Structure 1
């Protein structure tokens, strides 16, 4: 029965072709699953970690602008067997007021984890003042 196909076989082939054509988009979508990153807020340090493994160092930038940290990654358009793919992301973080912006550093690991860290201002030991509680009856 050459030349004859079952409906199930045709549907399977159609779905496989669709899945193959969508592969670049799935890769882009899953690359961004952890794209918000992890925020690390410790007593003396503040940090952000982002998984940027799909970007080369020269495709990334980290900037401070008006108290906001901007992290950007951009792939130029490239062709693959299904068409062309371009990736771009921008993450903006409002920095806590106690972060020393001059101490900001960024490091990219071999595994593609971008770590941005900064020192925090020293917390002043606050003096406690006892406030006496006065009792006043509501009955007159």
Structure 2
């Protein structure tokens, strides 16, 4: 389940992985003990596949977290959103290269994330208390 305040990162990540050819939609598995859904019933699946864990563990995501903490170091009212956004874009471009997607494509897929994160942290500063909190806010609870 994607955290409702930031569906963008997970959705963008899924789109990025699809674009890079790293993910293929699979029908959602039916949990044990549950009857299968009727034909034509909509299903959802994690488009990121097993790559979600690798995204969370990736040093670029840790760098993005640290950049976010630094942006908020003087409090939410003093965040230079444009500078934070540009720093984030640099991280995303590097991340795209290491993931074989390309710098411009990754930045484009994640372009809305920095401003969404700013809003989330302003609403709930505990997001920056730990990397786990940050992951829960951006990728959804583990």
Greater fraction helix: 2
Q: Greater share of strand residues, 1 or 2?
A: 1
Q: Which has the higher contact order (CA 8 A, sep 6+)?
A: 2
Q: Normalising by the residue count of structure 1, what TM-score does the alignment of the two structures yield?
A: 0.27
Q: Highest CA radius of gyration, 1 or 2?
A: 1
